[in-house]
Every structure is written in C-alpha cells, then in structure tokens.
C-alpha cells in the first residue's frame, strides 16, 4: 500500500509498505479522505507540536473517514483513550493521559491507503455524507466541544478570533446557538468573506491588534460575552482578552507555535475572566453527524482544495500558505 511519512521538517516521502495486521479489537479500514489540520502543519513545519517531537518517520493525519473491509462507511475518532483511568471513568476521555492519537508522537495516522484502528472509534455515517464530510466531523467535533465549554446562550455576543476551519465552524455553531452578534477576525480576506457567509455579523481584518477598536465599536463599546481564540497566535489571545466583557469567558482553542500562551494578568484578574483551554473533543460525533446530515452546519463549502495521496507534499504546501480553508487528501 502507499504511505506518506514525514521524515523531517517539510520532508514528506512516499513509501510502499505492507498492509497492517489488525490487533485485538481493531478493524481494517480503507482510508478514503484525510483533512490537513493546523496541528499537522505544526508537525510538517516544525517537526513536532508542543513537547511531542518527531522521533521517527511519522504518518500524519487525524481527520479521516473511510470504509471497513465489511463495507461500512465510517468516520474515525482519532483519539483512543484507555477507558480505565479516573478521567475516562469521569467522562473526560479527551484528557486521558494514556490516550493514543492518530498521527501524533509514536502513533501513525491516516495518510495511507489502509490502516487498522480501534473498532470502538469507528462511527457509521449515513450515505448522504461524503467521505470528505466524514473527515470534517473531527474539526466539527472540536468546535462543538469549544462551544460546550463556553456555555453559550441565546442572545449573547461572541467573538471568533481566527477563521480557519474550526473558527468558521464555531461561527456556524454560535449562530445556531442564538448569538445575536458574531464578530470574526482573521488576517486573510477570503476567510473573512467565508465567515460572513456562514453567519458572522461583522468580519474584521486582523492588523496587529488595531482591530480591537472595530470590535468594541461593533458591540457599542461593551465587548463580547465570549471570545473564542482559534488562531494559535499571541495577537489573537491579546485581542480576545481585550475584547471580552468583565465576567466573560475566553476559550483558547488555537495551538501556539512556541508552545507558550500569555496574557495580561492584571487585565484578566480585573475583569474576573474565566479562561478555558480546548483539548480535542469528547462525545461529539453523534451531534456532529446530526448537524451535518440535517444541513444545519455546512462543512462542504469549507473544503477548498483536494489532492490525491501521491501529491501530499503539494497539498501540505497549499495548506501551509493558507490559500484556502480546508485541504483534503483523497484516496
């Protein structure tokens, strides 16, 4: 089978390898679609993410869908928790310290034609969803979890700072949740245009922090009830802290390049902010499938580029240049 492995920074190579052999509790999956995520780009550009560094040629890819050998079309939860620890037993499998995650650390991911994966992490998808739709359920799940953490209520004002795929999905979920004002910022005009088409009431170009004046003007000087930082950039964190109202919430979903996030302690303390960090997702796939199946969340328009597996390097280059929104590799 064909496999793409990351050997070093920006060094993706095509290999021919034997098909994997399923272990206990696993099924064989023919991979059909894989999305390139921001965390994949960290591995590609930096040779790691946070404290996890590239130690062997790694198969990236954790947003994916395919078909089992038995003919079942499935989306895949890329995180396999131990299911035994205290966190798992308390309903927080996303925080499991023994989790195995596709395309991270020592665990190969989905940029290959076949893979063996935990049967419990294979979620059947209806025929009306494409494989690319199935791959998009993973970022949608992260967006759902972020909104869950925020306890967003109807009538609230929301800021979404960063309009990549997850940011745009949060825009849609905020609209569905009844947010009356949704302010979106990004450095790229085409992403702001997408945010407007998906429910943002105000789209503002991020320009070194100067956008905070426009954010405040759009809220009558009040600020936003909830700020979602989805850029992985310190500038977006600073804007989130500055834009949120006293007593508000800041939800940090972005992954910073240097594994460090900072904010003004005096501002956050004076405002009495609640700051939460998003760790992947938990128990969101059923809701994600329903939202997409019913046409309440649009994932298809987020897919702007498609490449075959053999052109993975080109796909990553496009994603790294932020030319579109979501790049999908299809088998």
Helix boundaries (H) for the chain? 38-46, 86-89, 131-150, 165-176, 189-197, 211-218, 234-243, 265-271, 285-293, 312-320
How close are the terminal C-alpha atoms of the chain, in Å?
11
Beta strands in 26-138 (DSSP E): 26-35, 48-49, 52-53, 63-68, 73-76, 79-80, 100-101, 114-118, 122-124
Write the pLDDT tens digit of every residue in 18-40: 999 999 999 999 999 999 999 99
Please report where in the chains the tokens 């665990």 appear, as a residue. Answer: 107
Residue 243 pLDDT greater than 90, yes or no = yes
Question: Where does the pLDDT of residue 257 fall: very low under 50, low under 70, confident under 90, or very high at 90 and above?
Answer: confident
- Looking at the chain, the whole-number percentage of residues with pLDDT higher than 90 is 98
> What pLDDT score was predicted for residue 51?
87
Write the pLDDT tens digit of every residue in 259-294: 899 999 999 999 999 999 999 999 999 999 999 999
Write the pLDDT tens digit of every residue in 198-211: 999 999 999 988 89
Query: Which residue ranges make up each domain of the chain?
Result: 2-124+299-330, 141-277
> What pLDDT score was predicted for residue 321?
96
Count of beta carbons in the 10 Å neighbourhood of residue 118: 19
| Total count of residues recorded for the chain | 331
Degrees to nearest 5, angle at CA 236 with 232 and 240: 125
Q: What is the average pLDDT across 302-308? A: 98
- The superfamily CATH assigns to domain 141-277 is NAD(P)-binding Rossmann-like Domain (3.40.50.720)
Q: How far apart are CA 224 and CA 200, in angstroms?
A: 13
> What pLDDT score was predicted for residue 329?
98
Strands 224-229 and 157-161: parallel
Q: How far apart are CA 139 and CA 34, in angstroms?
A: 12
Cβ contacts of 303 within 8 Å, gap of 6 or more: 132, 136, 325, 326, 328
C-alpha atoms less than 13 angstroms from C-alpha of 25 in its C-beta half-sphere: 5
Domain covering 2-124+299-330 in this structure, CATH number = 3.90.180.10
Residue 50 pLDDT greater than 90, yes or no = no
- CB-neighbour burial class of residue 298 (10 A; exposed 0-12, middle 13-18, buried 19+): middle
Report residue 330 as tokens: 């299809």
- To the question of pTM greater than 0.85 for the whole model, the response is yes
Degrees to nearest 5, angle at CA 44 with 39 and 48: 65
Q: Is there a contact between 185 and 201 (Cβ–Cβ < 8 Å)?
A: no
Q: How far apart are CA 68 and CA 114, in angstroms?
A: 10
Write the pLDDT tens digit of every residue in 106-138: 999 999 999 999 999 999 999 999 999 999 999
Q: How far apart are CA 164 and CA 325, in angstroms?
A: 6
> What pLDDT score was predicted for residue 17?
98
- Please report the sign of the dihedral spanned by the C-alpha atoms of residue 314, residue 316, residue 321, residue 323: positive
- Please report the sign of the dihedral spanned by the C-alpha atoms of residue 203, residue 301, residue 311, residue 79: positive
Q: What is the average pLDDT across 309-314? A: 98
């Amino acid at each position: 089978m064909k496999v793409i492995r990351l050997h070093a920074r920006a060094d993706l190579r095509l290999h021919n390898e034997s098909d994997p052999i399923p272990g206990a509790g696993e099924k064989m999956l023919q991979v059909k679609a894989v999305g390139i995520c921001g965390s994949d780009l960290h591995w590609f550009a930096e040779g790691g993410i946070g404290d996890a560094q590239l130690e062997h040629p790694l198969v990236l890819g954790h947003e994916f869908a395919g078909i089992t050998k038995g003919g079942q079309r499935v989306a895949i939860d890329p995180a396999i928790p131990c299911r035994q620890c205290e966190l798992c037993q308390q309903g927080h499998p996303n925080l499991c310290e023994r989790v195995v995650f596709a395309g991270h650390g020592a665990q190969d991911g989905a940029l290959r034609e076949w893979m063996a994966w935990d049967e419990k992490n294979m979620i059947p998808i209806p025929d009306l969803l494409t494989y690319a739709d199935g791959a998009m359920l993973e970022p949608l799940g992260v967006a759902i979890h972020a909104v869950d953490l925020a306890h967003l209520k109807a009538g609230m004002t929301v800021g979404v700072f960063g309009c990549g795929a997850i940011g745009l999905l949060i825009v849609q979920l905020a609209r569905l949740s009844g947010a009356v004002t949704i302010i979106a910022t990004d450095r790229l005009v085409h992403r702001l245009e997408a945010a407007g088409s998906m429910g943002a009431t105000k789209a503002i170009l991020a320009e070194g922090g100067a956008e905070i004046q426009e954010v405040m003007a759009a809220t009558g000087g009040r600020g936003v009830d909830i700020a979602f930082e989805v850029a992985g950039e310190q500038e977006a964190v600073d804007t989130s802290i500055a834009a949120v109202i006293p007593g508000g919430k800041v939800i940090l979903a972005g992954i910073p390049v240097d594994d460090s996030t900072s904010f003004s302690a005096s501002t956050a303390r004076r405002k009495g902010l609640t700051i939460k960090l998003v760790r992947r997702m938990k128990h969101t796939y059923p809701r994600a499938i329903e939202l997409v199946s019913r046409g309440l969340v649009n994932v298809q328009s987020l897919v702007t580029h498609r490449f075959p597996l053999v052109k993975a390097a080109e796909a990553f280059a496009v994603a790294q240049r932020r030319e579109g929104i979501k790049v999908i590799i299809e088998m």
